[in-house]
Amino acid sequence: MDQASVRQETARQEKDQSWLQEQLRIGMGGGRFPADSWLRQDALAELYGVSRFVVRGALERLSEAEAIEHVPHRGYRVRRWSHQERLELTEARLVVELAMAPLMMARRTESLMEPVRQACAQFEDAASEGDGEAMFLSNHAFHRALAVLAGNRQLADQVNWLREQGMRGAGPGWPKAGGVERSIREHYAMVEAIDAGDVLGLQGVVQRHLTAWQERFDR
């Protein structure tokens, strides 16, 4: 194989690994691969129609990002955040997201609100169908669209990074009865607060939304 062919093959494999890495993240967030589950290379290769080489590369990348853990002589397992880690991530998100609320009010436009409204409705539709992966994606889109309203890419990138850290090791975000319905209500409440220019109302909903997992954990 000549050098040009080698480069093309390497680029293709890297692209496939990046694609699979994202599919696995979606699977972990949507409940296909819950925390503590094992990720078997043969099964993943068959499920996603890729080679074991691609699977191994994607798993290594996820392990480096600490989304999963490598257990010697056993394989790769989806990592579960400790209670303390989730508390610290929640505190960090609250600091950033509550501070963003006034900026969101001041800089919102109807064109920026459209993706927020669309993702809000898509999450409700996915929930009604019980589609965990679609819920994960639409929830992801909703919160990313909210962050854009602040008009500050540095803040948006920071809050998106913090949220995605928490998502990767927590398992499905709606583990008990009522969790999904509550998330839907809170999403719409955020939109209503923004439309009304109610900064304190938005901050209150955001705080309840981010700490809901603690209430479920403590029951």
- ∠ CA 193-194-195 to the nearest 5 degrees? 90
Q: Look at strands 68-71 and 38-39 and give their pairing.
A: unpaired
Domain boundaries, the chain: 3-78, 83-218
What gap in Å lies between CA 114 and CA 104, rounded to an integer?
14
What's the whole-number mean pLDDT along residues 205-212?
94
- Tens digits of per-residue pLDDT, 51-100? 999 999 999 999 998 889 999 999 999 988 888 988 998 999 999 999 99
- What letter represents residue 136's amino acid? F
Residue found by looking up tokens 């501070």 in the block: 99
- Tens digits of per-residue pLDDT, 113-162? 999 999 999 999 999 998 888 998 899 899 999 999 999 999 999 998 88
CATH top class, domain 83-218 = mainly alpha
Q: In what order do the strands lie in the sheet with 75-78?
A: 38-39, 75-78, 68-71
154-to-96, 100, 151, 157, 200 alpha-carbon distances in Å: 11, 11, 9, 5, 23
How many angstroms separate the first and last alpha carbons of the chain?
A: 61
pTM listed for this prediction: 0.79
Domain 3-78 has CATH 3.40.50.620: no
